[in-house]
Structure 1
C-alpha cells in the first residue's frame, strides 16, 4: 500500500485536478465577455443576463455542501465525472440559446451544478487528500494557481472568436475546451484508491455528517471565515460579470475586457502560489483579512478614476494577485480545524456563503445599473463591506476555538 502523501502516485491526480479546475474556472470567469453582443442579439437586458449568472452562482453554492456529502458516501470519481458532463451540457445549451429560458438553464442551472461537482472545492479536496500535512498548503496553492491559468486561455479565445465570428462561435470555442474536463475528472477520481488519511486528533473525522456540521456551527473562527467569504464572492463576481459592460460604457476597446480578464488570470497564478506558500507559515485568518482589505482599497482607487488601458491592466494585475489566493487559505484552515473526512462538505458550507455573495454581486450589480443608470452604489457597498469583512477576519484570530464535539 502506498503511503498517503507520496508524490509519485499523487502527481497524475494533482495534474488532472488542476486541468479540471483550469477549464471550469477559466470558462466560468470569462462568460461576461459575451454579455454585450448576447443581450443585443437576443433583446434581453443586462439585468437578465446578470440574473442567469447569479442563478449559476447560487446553484453552485447550494449544491456544494451536498456534493461534498456525496463524496464522503460515493467517492470522488462519480461526483467529478458527473460534474464534467453537466458542464459540457450547460455550455452546449448556451451556444444554442434563443432566449432567457435556455440561458438560465444552460449558463445558470447546469453550469452551477457542474461547478459544485467538479471545480474549486472538489479539486482542493482532492489535493488535500493526496499530500502530507506539511505539503498541504503549498499543494493547495499550486492547484489553485493552475486553475487560474484558465482565464488566460479562455478569455482571449472567447473574445477573438466573438469579435470575428459572433458570440455563438466564442461559446462553441468554450465547449471544445470544456470537453477536456471529462477525462481530467476521471483521472482525478483515482484519489479514491489512495489510502485513507489518518484520523485527526480532536477533529471531525470520527463524527457523522450532522455532528460535523454542529461542530462547525459552534466554532466561532469558522463562522467568521464563512461570513467574510460572502463579501469575497460579491466583489469577484461583480467584476467578472460587469467589468466588460463598464469598460464598454466608458468607451474602451472591447478587447480591453479580454485583456483585463487574462491579466487577472495571469497574476492569479502568482497570487495563488504566494498565498499557498504563505498559508503554511503565517496565520491564515490574518492573510484572508489582508486580502479583503487590499482588494477593497484597489477597487475604490480604480473606480474613482476614469478608466484607461494602463490603469485597467494595473487594476487587473493587483486584483488578480489577490483573486483566488483565498481558496488555499480557506481550504487549509478548514482542514486544520476539522480534518479531512468532511473537508469537502464543510468547505462547501463556507462556499455556500461565498455564492450568496456572488449572487448579490452579479444580480445586484445589474439591478443597480438598470435602476440608477450607474454602478456607483454597488461599488460603494462592495468597498465598504470588504473593508469591514477584512477587519473582522483579522480580529477573529483573537477568538479562542472551542474543541470539536465528539460523537455520541
Structure 2
C-alpha cells in the first residue's frame, strides 16, 4: 500500500514542477518514463535475489532508495537531476519495494488454495495506496507546496523497512509442522530462464503485459493535466485517480477470486478488450467532471485486475520457486510499455498540442493484447507435469 502510493500520484506533480522550472510536459514525462523503465529493468534482478535469499532485505533496500529518491526529487531544478532522482533512484527503489516482491512472497508463504485470493489482496492493497495518496498528494501540495509534499512522501516510505520484517521467513511444511527458514529453489537461475522463454505461452503473456503498462502509466501521469486542459479542476483530477484506486480494490479482489475458479487466460482477454472499449468511449464522449469520475471508476475495476491472473499463470506454469523473478520479466515488459506511455504522452502533447493520438493508441493496444492472450495454454511445464504424474 505504501510503496504504490507516491508513484501513482506522480501526475499531480507535473503541472506545479513544470511551472516552477519553466519546463514543457515532455521533461517531467521523460523522468517518469525513465522511472518506469528502471523499475522494469531492476525488477527481475530484485526478484532473483528475493527468490534466492528471501524478500526482507530486498524490500528494506528498496524502501530506503525510494525515500532518498523522493527527498532528492524535491530539490531537483534541472532536467538531468529530475531524471536521476524521479527517474533512476525512485525506479530502483520501486524495483525492490513494490507489490511485485510482496506477491512473490505471498506465493511462497501461502498454500495453493489461498494463492489466487492472496494475490488479489496484495494487488488491492496497492490500489488502496493509490486511493489514499491521490487526495493526500493534492492536499499536501496545496498546504506545503510540491517540495514539502515530496518530503512527507519520502518520510512515509521509511515505514517499508520495519514492515518488511513480516516476510523474513518462508513457512514450509516440515516434519513436525513447524516453520523453517527460507528454502531456495532447486533450479539454477539460468535453467529457470531457459525453461521459461522456451514456453510460447509465457512469451505471449509477457508480450501482452506491455499494454497494461502503457495504459496505466499514461493515464496515471497524463490524465490530471489532460483534464486540466479540458477545464476540469485539479481536485477532480486527483479524485479521478483516487477513484481508480478505490474501484480497483474491488477489481483486484474479484480478479483474484475468479482466477482460482475461471480461466486466467480468458480473464486477461476480456480485461484487455474491455479496456479498449472503455478508452474509446472516453475519447468520444464529452469530458465533464461526471464522465471523468465515471471513467475513473470503470477503468479502476480493470486497472490491476490483470495482475492476479498474470502472476497466477506464472505460478501455474513454472511453480513458485522462481515466481518473483519470472513475474519480474513479465513486469519488465509492462514497464517498457509504461515508459512509452508516459514518454509518448509528453512528446506528442508538445508536438501536436493534444493527447488524442496517444489515447487512440492506448485503445488499439487493448484490442491487440486481447488477441495476443487468446492462444495461451493454462498448464504446467513438462518438468512439473512429469512430477505430478
> Structure 2 length normalisation: TM-score?
0.93
Shift of 1:165: 3.3
Can you list the C-alpha shifts for 1:71-126, whole angstroms capped at 9, x where unaligned? 23332121111001101101111122222222212211111111111112101011
Q: Does 1:288 align with 2:279?
A: no
Secondary structure of the 1:207 match is coil
Q: How does 1:187-206 map to 2 (within 5 A)?
A: 187-191=166-170, 195=180, 205-206=185-186
CA distance in 2, matches of 1:184, 1:191: 15
Can you list the C-alpha shifts for 1:25-48, whole angstroms capped at 9, x where unaligned? 111010110100110101121011
CA distance in 2, matches of 1:159, 1:331: 32
Identify the residue that residue 309 of structure 2 maps to in structure 1.
329
Identify the residue that residue 139 of structure 1 maps to in structure 2.
118
CA distance in 2, matches of 1:73, 1:206: 10
Is this contact kept in 2: 1:25–1:148, CA < 8 A? yes
From the superposition, tell whether residues 229 and 141 of structure 1 become closer, same or farther in structure 2 (CA, over 3 Å).
same
Q: Does 1:85 align with 2:64?
A: yes
Which residue among 32, 36, 50 is the counterpart of 1:57? 36
Identify the residue that residue 202 of structure 1 maps to in structure 2.
none
CA distance in 2, matches of 1:402, 1:274: 27
Q: Which 4+ residue blocks in structure 1 deviate beyond 3 angstroms? A: 190-199, 399-402
Secondary structure of the 1:395 match is coil
Which residue among 195, 201, 222 is the counterpart of 2:202? 222
Q: Does 1:359 align with 2:339?
A: yes
Unmatched 5+ residue regions in structure 2? 173-178
Is this contact kept in 1: 2:317–2:379, CA < 8 A? no
Is this contact kept in 2: 1:229–1:354, CA < 8 A? yes
Secondary structure of the 2:320 match is coil
Identify the residue that residue 121 of structure 1 maps to in structure 2.
100
Is this contact kept in 1: 2:316–2:379, CA < 8 A? no
Give the superposed CA RMSD.
Answer: 2.0
Is this contact kept in 1: 2:54–2:182, CA < 8 A? no
Identify the residue that residue 32 of structure 1 maps to in structure 2.
11
Secondary structure of the 1:232 match is helix
Can you list the C-alpha shifts for 1:31-73, whole angstroms capped at 9, x where unaligned? 1101001101011210110100010010011111111111233
CA distance in 2, matches of 1:198, 1:185: 18
Can you list the C-alpha shifts for 1:175-216, whole angstroms capped at 9, x where unaligned? 2322222211233334489547999xxxxx532111111111
Identify the residue that residue 19 of structure 1 maps to in structure 2.
none
CA distance in 2, matches of 1:273, 1:292: 17
Secondary structure of the 1:84 match is helix
Secondary structure of the 1:38 match is helix
Q: Does 1:101 align with 2:80?
A: yes
Shift of 1:380: 1.5
CA distance in 1, matches of 2:367, 2:327: 23
Q: Does 1:150 align with 2:149?
A: no
